[in-house]
């Protein structure tokens, strides 16, 4: 079997740091049918997760030999969820890179921390506090019901259908030309989300999901309802 497929089929992950972030992430993976080995220096945290995780180990991952002993090189996916311990986070990540783990996600607590993690070879860096802060800001400002930034300048935002598209086929509203956004999904009152087409006619009170640049999605969400 080619290596890529083998990796794709490998539903095992190593999660280092079982704080709030690492703990929730590990539990979610287990719920999703993954085998998860959780590691933390804090025995109490390891104990608290031991019933849920496939394997849980008390260990200090800043030591190369320890990482080998727990079998870190056998994992193709690892998450370094040590946020507030900068030195430990950087050391652990660089050791995993050296051991050849092919997909490493690392949690950063600041942009500088994120830059270092990228530089030493982490494949994916997440900044949960920053990202959630930005997301909630869009919700607090009251124009969007939900907001997800997909890329540096691409987002999805849900909002009540603005007045000027109510009762009109989406294909005839000129939304893409005028507002540079695409409505990808719609939720009827009391219904579930479904995909939107050029023939879809939004009604008053429907919720729509708009895709486009952050600025364009914001502008669309602020239109009169």
Q: What's phi and psi for 130, nearest 5 deg?
A: -65, -50
> Is 42 an interacting residue with respect to ligand ADP (CB under 6 A)?
yes
Helix, strand, coil distribution of the chain in percent, nearest 5: 40, 25, 35
The number of residues in the chain equals 225
Residue whose CB is less far from ligand ADP, 95 or 217: 95
DSSP for 56-114?
EEE--TT-HHHHHHTTGGG-SEEEE---S-HHHHHHHHHHHHHTT-SEEEEE-SSHHHH
Residue whose CB is less far from ligand ADP, 42 or 69: 42
Instruction: Lay out the site mask for ligand ADP across 85-114 (x = CB under 6 A, - = otherwise).
Output: x--x--------------------------
Any idea which residue has 């496939």 for tokens?
54
Retrieve residue 108's tokens: 């950063």
Paired with 15 in beta bridges are 38, 79
User: Shortest gap between Cβ of 91 and ligand ADP (angstroms)?
Assistant: 7
- Closest of 151, 135, 81 to residue 109, by C-alpha: 81
User: Shortest gap between Cβ of 141 and ligand ADP (angstroms)?
Assistant: 26
Choose the binding region for ligand ADP from 18-26, 130-138, 168-176, 177-185 (rule: CB under 6 A).
18-26
Figure out which of the listed residues 49, 56, 61, 94 binds ligand ADP, where binding follows CB under 6 A: 61
Figure out which of the listed residues 56, 62, 159, 200 binds ligand ADP, where binding follows CB under 6 A: 62
Residue whose CB is less far from ligand ADP, 120 or 166: 120
User: Shortest gap between Cβ of 80 and ligand ADP (angstroms)?
Assistant: 9
> Is 16 an interacting residue with respect to ligand ADP (CB under 6 A)?
yes
CA 223, CA 198: separation in Å to the nearest integer? 20
Figure out which of the listed residues 13, 37, 40, 90 binds ligand ADP, where binding follows CB under 6 A: 40
User: Shortest gap between Cβ of 125 and ligand ADP (angstroms)?
Assistant: 15
Q: What's phi and psi for 99, nearest 5 deg?
A: -80, -5
Interacting residues with ligand ADP (CB under 6 A)? 16-22, 39-42, 45, 60-62, 82-85, 88
């Amino acid at each position: 079997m080619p290596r890529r497929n083998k990796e794709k089929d490998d539903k095992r992950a190593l999660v280092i740091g079982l704080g709030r972030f690492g703990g929730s992430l590990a539990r979610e993976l287990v719920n999703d049918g993954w085998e998860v080995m959780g590691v933390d220096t804090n025995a109490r945290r390891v104990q608290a997760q031991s019933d849920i995780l496939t394997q849980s180990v008390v260990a200090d991952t800043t030591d190369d030999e320890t990482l080998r002993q727990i079998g870190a090189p056998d994992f193709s996916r690892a998450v370094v969820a040590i946020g507030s311990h900068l030195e430990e986070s950087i050391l652990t990540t660089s050791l995993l890179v050296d051991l050849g783990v092919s997909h490493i996600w690392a949690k950063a607590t600041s942009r500088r921390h994120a830059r270092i993690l990228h530089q030493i070879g982490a494949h994916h860096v997440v900044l949960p506090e920053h990202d959630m802060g930005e997301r909630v800001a869009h919700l607090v400002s009251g124009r969007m019901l939900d907001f997800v930034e997909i890329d540096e300048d691409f987002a999805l935002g849900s909002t009540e259908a603005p007045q000027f598209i109510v009762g009109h086929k989406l294909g005839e509203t000129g939304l893409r030309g005028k507002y540079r956004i695409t409505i990808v999904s719609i939720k009827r009152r009391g219904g579930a989300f479904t995909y939107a087409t050029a023939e879809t006619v939004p009604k008053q009170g429907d919720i729509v999901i708009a895709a486009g640049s952050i600025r364009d999605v914001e502008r669309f969400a602020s239109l009169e309802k």
